[in-house]
Amino acid sequence: RHLWLIVPAAGQGKRMGADRPKQYLELAGRPILARTLTRLHQAFPEARLCLCLDPDDDWFDAQWVPFADWRRTPGGAERVDSVAGALAAIAEEAGADDLVLVHDVARPCVTVDDLHRLRDAAREAAAGAILAAPVADTMKRDDGRGHIRATEPREGLWHALTPQGFGYALLCRALEAARARGVAITDEASAVEALGLAPRLVSGRRDNLKVTHPDDLSLAGWILAGQDA
Ligand code: C5P
């Protein structure tokens, strides 16, 4: 069984409000994309990488890719389209049982230990596995007008992180079905859940944050500095 890594990196990162897609912003002196790929390579030096990039992306530099075996695949309109594009690009090479880990380029702080634990769980669990962290805050639902409508019990609620890992054939089937239904999905697990399956939750570090808003950049810098210490 080969190990494949799919890194969707075709987003614009508009919430960042920067002059470039967020994966090219510098984090402790290196672009986020380079940091994320370096972490993945530390954990899985032998893996095969699919990097989903916007076909019009002029910021990318191949020198940031530490993997020997990698390909650039065209990103699509939504994240799910980018991941589906990567799965299609490796259809000739991938075996049905090969393990595929999908990891957001915007999560540079994931640790090698969490990566290994997720891989091990995803290998064993028939429906795959995701890194996740229990919700700590009290959760409110709004009424659409800026007031609270309800307090949602946080017990049993988790933040879905990445990577998320599944067998190649299962992930293809799940994403095809999700795209055919046309409902928006923001992670792979929700597509697998829609098939009636229950991926495993692997408790991961809460500092595996997704760089989304401007303040996240300095926070990610602190997290990385602490991890290197
Ligand atoms: O925007 P957001 O942070 O939710 O995007 C999650 C991940 O999906 C990012 O790594 C982003 O680059 C990627 N993405 C993509 N193709 C899109 C939209 C987002 O690869 N069309």
Q: Is the bond preceding 163 in cis, omega lying within 30 degrees of 0?
A: yes
Going by pLDDT thresholds of 50, 70 and 90, the confidence category of residue 14 is confident
> Measured from the CB, is residue 167 less than 6 Å from ligand 1?
no
- CATH of residue 61's domain is 3.90.550.10
d(CA 25, ligand 1 centre) in Å: 15
Domain count, the chain: 1
Q: What is the pLDDT of residues 173-194, one digit of tens each?
A: 999 999 999 888 999 999 999 9
Q: Which of 221, 209, 185, 7 is nearest to 104 (CA)?
A: 7
Structural domain span for residue 135: 3-228
Q: Which tokens sit at 223?
A: 């997290």
Interface predicted TM-score (ipTM) of this complex, two decimals: 0.96
pTM: 0.97
C-alpha 149 – ligand 1 centre gap (Å): 30
Per-residue pLDDT tens over the stretch 132-149: 999 999 999 999 999 999
How do residues 102-139 score in pLDDT, each as one tens digit? 999 999 999 999 999 999 999 999 999 999 999 999 99
Question: How many angstroms does the Cα of residue 135 sit away from the middle of ligand 1?
Answer: 22
Minimum-distance ligand 1 atom for the alpha carbon of 14: 1
Nearest CA to ligand 1 atom 5: 11
How many A from CA of 10 to the centre of ligand 1? 6
Question: If pLDDT is split at 50, 70 and 90, which confidence band does 228 have?
Answer: confident
* The residue type at 163: P
Q: Are 44 and 119 in contact (CB under 8 A)?
A: yes
